[in-house]
């Protein structure tokens, strides 16, 4: 069964469009434009999202790679959910920042060439922490033991661990 689409909760803070250099609602200052995004006429303060809201949005976007080019999905996920200073630990090494995330996404796309949907078997968030258990299955490979953990601060993923075992068919 493919993963169900998780809700994409948002917090509306203003209905006025502002230039990125202008002060933002909710006490955000200049230079914090990465903390907001616009959806139609609505400005959304991404920094006020709970860990679960960030995680849900990240997971929804991850499964968009089925129908949308990976680069487009990745750009949206980085903009909405990932800190520029993220640190990702995986058994292949330590990856930092957006470049590190892009490297990992490319590695995953090569390992899962059919780019099917992930199945999220367990998702939890408490405080600043998130945990995901996942599987993946296509005609060439499968993953039965995927586990990611997340540290989320100010509406962004700042640290992540990733574990999975790729089984070729």
Provide the residue ranges of all domains of the chain, joining segments of one domain with +.
47-168
CA distance 96 to 94: 7
The partner residues of 102 in beta bridges, in order of sequence, read none
CA angle (53, 118, 114) in 5-degree steps: 135
- pTM beyond cutoff 0.85: no
Give the pLDDT mean for 93-108: 96
User: What CATH number belongs to 47-168?
Assistant: 3.10.450.50
Q: Which residue has the higher pLDDT, 26 or 123?
A: 123
- Please give the mean pLDDT across all residues of the chain: 81
Return the minimum-mean-pLDDT range out of 42-56, 65-79, 114-128, 151-165: 42-56
């Amino acid at each position: 069964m493919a993963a169900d689409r998780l809700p994409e909760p948002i917090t509306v803070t203003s209905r006025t469009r502002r230039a990125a250099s202008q002060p933002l609602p909710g006490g955000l200052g200049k230079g914090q434009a990465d903390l907001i995004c616009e959806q139609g006429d609505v400005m959304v303060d991404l920094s006020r999202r709970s860990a679960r809201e960030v995680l849900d949005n990240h997971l929804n976007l991850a499964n968009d790679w089925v129908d949308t080019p990976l680069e487009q999905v990745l750009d949206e996920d980085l903009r909405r959910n990932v800190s520029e200073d993220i640190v990702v630990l995986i058994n292949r090494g330590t990856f930092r920042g957006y470049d590190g995330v892009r490297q990992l996404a490319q590695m995953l796309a090569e390992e899962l060439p059919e780019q099917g949907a992930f199945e999220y078997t367990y998702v939890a968030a408490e405080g600043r922490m998130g945990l995901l258990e996942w599987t993946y299955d296509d005609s060439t490979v499968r993953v039965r033991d995927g586990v990611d953990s997340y540290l989320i601060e100010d509406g962004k993923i700042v640290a992540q661990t990733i574990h999975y075992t790729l089984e070729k068919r």
